[in-house]
């Protein structure tokens, strides 16, 4: 019998163990109150360290408030379980059209052969191909990337039927062929090596072209698109380019088995030195407009160029949320976690985001919805275009299927170019009320916040087989740069009129407002942390007591809060799949980030507020080749950070996962000229770097940069 429950396309399950969790939180809260009470009632007399004491009180007040904020997402996390069989039973293949956006920006740090593997994995989704369109935005405006896309469009004719016939996973050819060979069992060895050779030859051609930086004349004759690069154009100064490489509406665009192919489009929006291009947000907005003419699907999914699809069912799964009759109409976007496939076991740089994925985003889901985190996200087109939630809103799921007897490809290409020009947005609401918001290093978070405040909810979906896998930062320098961008972006939202507490007041719940500020306050946390690591140490040297004596009963709440807070964080990490050492590395990285990235985040946010610097977006490298990062031009205001972190200063992880950094005259057994760098030393070297020196001496020895 059909009940309202059995009609639902997804279930919401709450996570167990909450009673115990809340009990623990209440005791920690009591401990914190005692600590604050002690601080407030034992202020020393003037001249006996009163200022330092009051500073400690302020720092502890800050930490307490921050701890309370982090509770907002831990109180009642949920897990969503989609029912794909029900979706199949009810809709069959009568599913909406979906547009997929991929952004790339730089053929050097995002190699075209990797980018097209992502594109191919998305084209091979288990989804009706005539309803799928994949768009690549190339902010590098590079003929090399276009060439790779052109290669991909022919390889797709073999790859997609191969994937579907043998039901293989993952569908990124780069990852599939580098994986275990057991997968070959599915098909005959002959067929397997045929397709593998085809793939290898293609990547070789692409890599050769990328190395040489030139396209052969005979290749250029194969596609009219190459003509766009005939003039003297460069990545910062060129006309808009849109090339439809596969037109899904064309009866002749079929794979080698005669099945329809998904539409494939290459776009490089116009760039001119005198116009600001607004980084990824600008690219996304151009894609929204260009796609509205070509396919205009009601659902838009977007990924970064390194985030390949690891799960062929993701589109159908996300539709379980949107098409659910009871709550689907309230859902603005469905966000998947950012998972990485290049993490080491113990996560030396604490990059795995596991706690954010498994705890915080699930918790946010229970209080209004996860943040939009820029990649692996499905949106309704309408909400990206600024629509407010209204009760009577009805989505037209049939939208997007274009009439077969329309203009020719060429006409469409010419028409959409005008939507990708520098001046198109002038005098419009684009970048503000329409599309992704401009002017913020975390365009995703601020856009998601605006969507939440327009009344929409969002859903966090994390299937056991990750939907997407990407490349996380692999070096200390990249980690710190990424976190500098993130902390700075979220802090600037916090200080702007979009501060979740003010902008969200009356529009989103208090707990979601608090959830946003967890990230908004990362940056200023650095100041408090600096105070807390420096002042007590100085006080110790001077003999000024800042903590109760061991014999005093007041020490108890300090010890209790310290231990329980850390034990819980350890438990949380372990339950999210981290190792003990991984947790330790994560804690260590928190300290490193707080005294470097986040501090720079604060400084740069303030500089921007004062109008002293402009926004930048340092694209993180997806290759671990040092030369590449050396060649990358660093934006002006990141110069300090880059100065300290650039490979020329040799701060990098050695394969043995130590910071084998500096040549040192400290003899250390078994390590030759290298020495392991402690966090304190790290900070010391940061400071030396800031002074622009290339050799220094501290109590451990003297160092010079190699
Ligand atoms: O001018 C630009 C700069 C970047 N990108 C693309 O933006 C994506 C993200 O850049 P990346 O350097 O990989 O940054 P991450 O720190 O890995 O990105 C995270 O954080 C960003 C916000 O800071 C979000 O936009 C991303 O989706 C999210 O994955 C990449 O595909 C880039 O190609 C552009 O298209 N144009
Ligand atoms: Mn990335």
Model pLDDT for residues 63-110, shown as the tens digit of each residue: 999 999 999 999 999 999 999 999 999 999 999 999 999 999 999 999
374 lines ligand 1 (CB under 6 A): yes
Q: Give the pLDDT of residue 681.
A: 52
Tell which wins on pLDDT, 393 or 82.
82
Q: Is 139 a catalytic residue?
A: yes
What letters, b where the CB count within 10 A reaches 16 and e where it falls short, cover 16-25? eeeeebeeeb
CA of 470 to the centre of ligand 2 (A): 7
CA of 444 to the centre of ligand 2 (A): 13
Q: Which ligand 1 atom lies nearest to the CA of residue 618?
A: 12
Q: Is 604 a catalytic residue?
A: no
Q: Give the pLDDT of residue 692.
A: 53
375 lines ligand 1 (CB under 6 A): yes
372 lines ligand 1 (CB under 6 A): no
Q: At what angle do helices 50-71 and 18-41 cross, to 10 degrees?
A: 160
pTM of the prediction?
0.88
CA of 619 to the centre of ligand 1 (A): 6
What element of type H or E holds 162?
helix 143-166
Structure confidence by residue, pLDDT tens digits, 284-303:
999 999 999 999 999 999 99
Q: At what angle do helices 510-520 and 522-542 cross, to 10 degrees?
A: 60
Structure confidence by residue, pLDDT tens digits, 241-252:
999 999 988 888
Burial class (CB in 10 A: 0-12, 13-18, 19+), 159: buried
Residue bearing the CA closest to ligand 1, atom 12: 619
Nearest alpha-carbon partner for 308 in 247, 376, 379: 376
CB atoms within 10 A of CB 586: 22
Phi/psi of residue 290, nearest 5 degrees: -60, -45
CA distances from 542 to 55, 136, 317, 538 (A): 16, 61, 62, 6
Tell me the pLDDT band of 199, cut-offs 50, 70 and 90. Answer: very high
CA of 104 to the centre of ligand 1 (A): 8
% of the chain residues with pLDDT over 70:
86
Q: Give the pLDDT of residue 514.
A: 98
Q: Give the pLDDT of residue 696.
A: 61
- What is Dmax (Cα atoms) for the chain? 87
Q: At what angle do helices 476-495 and 510-520 cross, to 10 degrees?
A: 130
d(CA 546, CA 534) in angstroms, rounded, equals 12
d(CA 162, CA 166) in angstroms, rounded, equals 6
Contacts of 702 (CB under 8 A, 6+ apart): 664, 665, 695, 696
Query: Which residue spans within 440-587 are E strands per DSSP?
Result: 457-460, 468-470
Burial class (CB in 10 A: 0-12, 13-18, 19+), 180: exposed
Indicate whether 701 pLDDT > 60.
no
The pLDDT mean for the chain works out to 87
Q: Give the pLDDT of residue 705.
A: 56
* From 99, 106, 138, 139, the catalytic residue: 139
Q: Which ligand 1 atom lies nearest to the CA of residue 304?
A: 31
Termini Cα distance of the chain: 74
Determine contact, residues 652/626, Cβ cutoff 8 Å.
yes
Q: Give the pLDDT of residue 676.
A: 35
* Least confident window among 272-281, 515-524, 661-670: 661-670
List the structure tokens of 210: 């990328």
Phi/psi of residue 538, nearest 5 degrees: -65, -40
Tell me the pLDDT band of 675, cut-offs 50, 70 and 90. Answer: very low
Indicate whether 631 pLDDT > 50.
no
Indicate whether 45 pLDDT > 50.
yes
- Strands 468-470, 263-268: pairing is unpaired
SS3 (DSSP) at 704: strand
Contacts of 653 (CB under 8 A, 6+ apart): 348, 349, 474, 475, 476, 659
Q: Which ligand 1 atom lies nearest to the CA of residue 473?
A: 17
């Amino acid at each position: 019998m059909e009940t309202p429950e059995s009609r639902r396309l997804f279930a919401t399950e709450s996570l167990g163990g909450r009673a115990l969790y809340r009990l623990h939180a209440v005791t920690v809260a009591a401990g914190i109150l005692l600590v604050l009470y002690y601080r407030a009632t034992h202020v020393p007399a003037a001249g006996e360290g009163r200022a330092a004491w009051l500073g400690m009180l302020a720092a502890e007040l800050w930490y307490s408030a921050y701890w309370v904020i982090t509770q907002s997402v831990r109180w009642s996390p949920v897990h969503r379980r989609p029912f794909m069989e029900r979706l199949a039973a009810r809709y069959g293949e009568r599913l909406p059209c979906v547009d997929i956006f991929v952004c790339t920006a730089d053929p050097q740090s995002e190699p075209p052969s990797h980018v097209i593997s992502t594109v191919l994995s998305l084209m091979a989704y288990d989804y009706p191909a005539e309803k799928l369109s994949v768009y690549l935005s190339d902010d590098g405006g590079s003929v090399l990337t276009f060439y790779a896309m052109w290669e991909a469009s022919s390889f797709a004719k073999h790859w997609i039927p191969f994937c579907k016939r043998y039901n293989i996973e993952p569908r990124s050819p780069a990852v599939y062929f580098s994986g275990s060979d057991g997968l070959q069992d599915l098909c005959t060895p002959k067929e397997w090596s045929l397709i593998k050779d085809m793939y290898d030859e293609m990547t070789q051609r692409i890599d050769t072209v990328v190395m040489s930086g030139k396209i052969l004349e005979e290749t250029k004759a194969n596609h009219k698109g190459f003509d766009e690069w005939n003039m003297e154009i460069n990545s910062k100064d060129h006309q808009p380019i849109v090339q439809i490489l596969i037109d899904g509406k064309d009866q002749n665009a079929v794979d080698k088995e005669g099945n329809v192919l998904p539409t494939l489009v290459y776009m490089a929006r116009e760039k001119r030195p005198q116009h600001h291009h607004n980084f990824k947000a600008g690219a996304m907005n151009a894609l929204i407009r260009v796609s509205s003419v070509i396919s205009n699907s009601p659902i838009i999914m977007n990924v970064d160029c390194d985030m390949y699809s690891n799960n062929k069912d993701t589109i159908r799964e996300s539709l379980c949320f949107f098409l659910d009759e009871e709550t689907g109409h309230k859902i603005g976007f469905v966000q998947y976690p950012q998972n990485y496939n290049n993490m080491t076991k113990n996560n030396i740089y604490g990059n795995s985001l596991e706690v954010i994925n498994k705890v915080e985003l699930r918790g946010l889901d229970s209080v209004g919805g996860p943040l939009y985190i820029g990649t692996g996200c499905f949106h309704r087109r309408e909400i990206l275009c600024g629509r407010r939630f209204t009760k009577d809103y009805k989505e037209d799921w049939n939208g997007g299927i274009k009439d077969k007897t329309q203009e020719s490809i060429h006409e469409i290409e010419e028409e959409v170019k005008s939507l990708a020009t520098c001046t198109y947005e002038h005098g419009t609401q684009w970048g503000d009320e329409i599309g992704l918001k401009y002017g913020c290093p975390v365009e995703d978070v601020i856009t998601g916040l605006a969507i939440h405040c327009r009344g929409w909810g969002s859903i966090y979906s994390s299937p056991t087989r990750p939907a997407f896998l990407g490349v996380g930062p692999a070096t200390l320098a990249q980690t710190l740069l990424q976190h500098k961008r993130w902390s700075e972006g979220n802090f600037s939202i916090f200080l702007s009129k979009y501060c979740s507490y003010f902008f969200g007041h009356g529009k989103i719940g208090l707990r979601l407002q608090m959830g946003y500020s967890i990230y908004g306050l990362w940056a200023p946390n650095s100041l408090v942390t600096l105070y807390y690591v420096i002042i007590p140490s100085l006080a110790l040297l001077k003999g000024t007591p800042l903590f109760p004596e061991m014999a005093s009963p007041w020490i108890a709440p300090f010890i209790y809060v310290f231990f329980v807070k850390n034990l819980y964080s350890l438990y949380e990490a372990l339950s999210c799949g981290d190792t003990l050492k991984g947790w330790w590395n994560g804690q260590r990285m928190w300290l490193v980030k707080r005294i470097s990235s986040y501090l720079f985040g604060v400084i740069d946010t303030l500089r921007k507020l004062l109008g002293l610097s402009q926004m930048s977006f340092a694209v993180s490298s997806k290759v671990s080749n040092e030369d590449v990062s050396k060649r990358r031009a660093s934006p002006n205001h990141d110069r300090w950070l880059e100065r300290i972190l650039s490979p020329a200063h040799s701060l990098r992880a050695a394969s043995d996962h130590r910071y084998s950094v500096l040549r040192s005259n400290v003899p250390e057994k078994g390590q030759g000229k290298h020495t392991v760098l402690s966090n304190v030393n790290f900070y010391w070297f940061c400071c030396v770097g800031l002074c622009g020196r290339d050799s220094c001496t501290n109590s451990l020895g003297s160092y010079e940069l190699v």
